[in-house]
Amino acid sequence: MDNNKPRTFRRMFVEKFLRDRLAIIGAVIVFTLFIVAIFAPVIAPRDPDQINTKNLLAPPSLAHFCGTDDLGRDVFSRMVYGARISLTVGFVAIGIATIIGLLIGATAGYFGGWIDDVLMRLVDLMLTIPTFFLILAVIAFLEPNIYNIMTVIGLTGWMSVARLVRAEFLGLKERDFVMAAKAIGVSDMVIILRHILPNAMAPVLVSATLGVAGAILTESALSFLGIGVQPPTPSWGNILTLGKDNIEFAWWLSAFPGMAILITVMGYNLLGEGIRDALDPRLS
């Protein structure tokens, strides 16, 4: 009976995604990170800010799974709470970048002409500036906190989304359903939001998924350099900074947060690649 049912796009997407083992691994990693971030107070065995001067730089043990730092704080608990910071930065920053990219890409692709020329030259200008150094320059003039980090990463990461959306709009605006909507007098705003944009979201979804990994990596790098999330707020990046200062006799301060960043970025990349392949109609 099920074989006679028409294969909808959603069904084909799910079938292709579930056949991709690496994509499933990525999805499991991302889902696990969500669970850890949401239930951090339950999962963390100790208060991440609890100082214990009698147990400084203790190696991993049954009492402290990932050891302690130079103030005696439990590294595992701080990493669990650090997952919240990383995911928050990743999603908010990419949310900002995606919204800006959608606005600019949709406007350029739909209206074309001089509007397209001006907006694409703006994109080209932004792409000539090294993003990480631009972020460093901006953060140097701002207070280094999580809100500024999210905003700056979002404001400097929209260019790829804009180009993807523009390319989709250039093709979709010539389709018959758009021409029919224009013929009956549907406004440009309604055509963009209700007819073209939903059909252009597939590559944006892939880009956003991959972008979350990049935003998490950028936040960790900024925190590692001391201009990201500031202590005592736990972040994988600022735990790595402690590891750098104590690398000779406290290897766990570098190894565990480094592995967390590696696994997180790998998970989002695998998930993004899996979504891209599942959305590609050329792949059976």
pLDDT in tens, 119-174: 999 999 988 888 788 888 887 787 777 888 888 889 888 999 999 999 999 988 88
List the domain boundaries for the chain: 6-43+75-279
State how far the Cα of 38 lies from the Cα of 214, in Å rounded to an integer.
21
What is the average pLDDT across 74-96? 91
State how far the Cα of 227 lies from the Cα of 219, in Å rounded to an integer.
9
Q: What is the 3-state secondary structure (H, E, C) of 229-247?
A: CCCCCCCHHHHHHHHHHCC
DSSP 184: T
What predicted TM-score, i.e. pTM, was given to this entire model? 0.85
Domain 6-43+75-279 fold is MetI-like fold (1.10.3720)
pLDDT in the model for residue 149? 85
